[in-house]
Chains A and B, each alone.
Chain A
Amino acid sequence: MAERGAGRYVARLVVVAYLFFLVAWPLFLVGQNTFEGGLENLRGILQDPDVVHALRLSLIVAVIAVVVNTVFGVGVSLLLVRYEFPGKRLLSALLDVPLSVSPIVVGLSLVLVYGGRNGWFGPTLESAGLQVIFATPGIVMATAFVALPLVIREVVPVLEEVGDEQEQAARSLGANALQTFWRITLPAIKWGVIYGVVLSLARSLGEFGAVKVVSGNVLGETRTTTLVVEEKYLNFDKGGAYAAAFLLALVAVAAIIVVSLLRPKESK
């Protein structure tokens, strides 16, 4: 049945206006602010060694967190979908917890356990020479924490959709578990994994609250790009703040566009 009447146009207009004022226009203004004085702002931050260090740190942390989350996510998804074990439902529910925990609490919780002075495990680890909090491992953990469920959320439905008939067929043809995974399962869930990775990457690069708590925000050491944005803004370096924000937004938007291009067109 064809959608008729003015209602359709009103709905369309309301939606477009809402998204325009809430997302599109503000986003555009960030770009505009960045390029207000030509390329000056961008060049400014890219020539600042501290900022470059922050960018590099952000990237390294994000890559490690994404790799860890991908391996963990694919493994847990397989376990959840293909195996039966006690506590499966509980685990499945717990895995979504990081999405609804405030990042500040995430950072705080890590400090409580791994903090060098008073943490549960922190002093022991530190006497063994491993500093977690106020160092890169802590930042990686905070980032991995907040982005934890993303790969699982993308992979589980795909695994369920694919079913296990192909895997059983491969096993009946003599493939062992590892061969079955590499040659049958992984190719089948490839796109799910890729969406998960892209979303995790965007989320990891952008994490702020949790990282802020665990990083110590040491200039040129543990300061990530998101922290640079804040620092620049608080110091009234509006151009620099917008330029750094622009770089991060660029990555986020690019990631979303990649995902939306990869996603097969449904319901057509």
Chain B
Amino acid sequence: MTSATLAPDRPATRRSARGGRRLDRYSGLGLGVAMLWFSLLVLIPLTAVVVTASEGGWGRFWDAVTNEQTAAAIRLTVGTALGVTLVNVVMGTLIAWVLVRDRFFGKRLLEILIDIPFALPTIVAGLVLLSLYGPESPLGVDIHNTRIAVFLAFLFVTLPFIVRTVQPVLAELDKEVEEAAASLGASRFTTFRRVILPSLTPAIAAGAALSFARGSASTARWCSCPATCRCVRRSPRSASSAASRTTTWTAPPPSPRCCWPSRSR
């Protein structure tokens, strides 16, 4: 999924060694059309957000950010995203390790489970988690109005990021390098710490960045889905988050019919 951004030494050298062709008439036209569509779809709209956000001058932006409530919300979002990323760094690396190095019955099933959060509609993901950790939890744990719910939801959504970035790099790692370390007297732990981990660090960092970006961005999604919107409504102090706040100071919701469940009802 994300292998494109990884293994910086390999494709980069290959690409530069070969050298791309210069644009001719048709490819130039293609690039033009692609850029036009990309601008209309992504660049112009995102610029609009930035422009609108800064319309009242950066002073207002600053006020909005430093506003006590907003600041608290940002702290919550960033804090949660950081925590989630931390868990993902450990668990994601471990999962990637098990998937690459271990062999057992049902491994294929685990591979599928990892990608599901990525393809699952967010709203459905909310229901999915609610079914086990909500009011009717068969485990008897009802966390659905708490910060833990938000945390868990992020964990769910960001599950594939580190696993899928680390996995291909780990699979490509030369087994001989570990054997060399072992024959030089390094214990398994030392080999992991001094030889394997440094090779994985770029991949882990890339995955963590994705995870963090997605984690802080998806707060909004989670606050607009039933699993968490209630916690926003019922306990705004504890669980309202920066992303939802961001949108309120950027611009009011465009239509009374759409957006926030807290307002539409």
Contacts and interface: CB of A to CB of B under 8 A. Distances in A.
Judged by CB atoms under 8 Å, the answer to whether A and B touch is yes
Interface of A: 1, 3, 5, 7-8, 11-12, 14-16, 18-19, 21-27, 29-30, 32-33, 68, 72, 75-76, 78-79, 81-85, 91, 94-106, 108-115, 120, 133-134, 141, 144-145, 148, 152-154, 156-157, 160, 163-164, 177, 199, 202-203, 205-209, 212-218, 226, 229-230, 233-234, 241-242, 245, 248-249, 252-253, 255-257, 259-260, 266-267
B18 interface: yes
B119 A199 contact: yes
A91 B120 CA distance: 28
B140 interface: no
B74 interface: no
Nearest to B109: A24
A207 B124 CA distance: 10
Nearest to A200: B119
Contact of B116 (A25, A216, A256): A256
Given A84-B21, A105-B220, A1 B123 contact: no
A229 B123 contact: yes
19 contacts: A5-B188, A22-B159, A23-B159, A27-B116, A27-B128, A108-B49, A112-B45, A113-B45, A120-B48, A157-B3, A160-B11, A207-B121, A212-B259, A230-B261, A245-B121, A256-B112, A257-B112, A260-B112, A266-B171
B128 A26 contact: yes
Contacts of A82: 20-21
A253 B226 contact: no
Contact of A245 (B102, B128, B219): B128
B113 A19 contact: yes
A8 B102 contact: yes
Nearest to A266: B171
Nearest to B27: A83
Contact of A22 (B156, B178, B261): B156
B122 A209 contact: yes
Interface residues of B, number: 103
Contact of B225 (A108, A230, A253): A230
A70 B175 CA distance: 37
B18 A206 contact: no
B186 interface: no
B195 interface: no
Interface of B: 1-5, 11, 14-15, 18-23, 26-27, 30-31, 33-35, 37-38, 41-46, 48-49, 52, 91, 94-95, 97-102, 104, 106, 108, 110-124, 127-129, 131-133, 138, 152, 155-156, 159, 168, 171-172, 175, 178-179, 182, 188, 210, 213-214, 217-221, 224-226, 243-244, 246-247, 250-251, 253-255, 257-259, 261, 265
A142 to B, nearest CB: 9
A205 B127 contact: no
B94 A203 contact: no
A13 B173 CA distance: 24
Given A97-B46, A104-B221, A3 B113 contact: no
Given A104-B224, A105-B247, A112-B49, A85 B102 contact: no
The B interface is mostly helix, strand or loop, or mixed, namely helix
Contacts of A249: 120-121, 124, 128
Contact of A144 (B11, B41, B119, B219): B41
Contacts of A160: 11, 14-15
A16 B94 CA distance: 11
B11 A157 contact: yes
A151 to B, nearest CB: 11
Q: List 3 tightest A-B contacts by C-beta distance, closest first.
A: A206-B121, A109-B45, A202-B119
B98 A12 contact: yes
Contacts of B243: 102, 104-105
Q: For B100, B112, B114, which residue has the most chain A Cβ atoms within 10 angstroms?
A: B112
B116 A79 contact: no
Given A27-B116, A233-B226, A252-B116, A103 B221 contact: yes
A230 B155 contact: no
Contacts of A78: 27, 30
B217 A102 contact: yes
Given A102-B220, A108-B251, A94 B22 contact: no
B34 to A, nearest CB: 5
Nearest to B45: A109
Contact of B91 (A18, A24, A84, A153): A18
Contacts of B104: 12
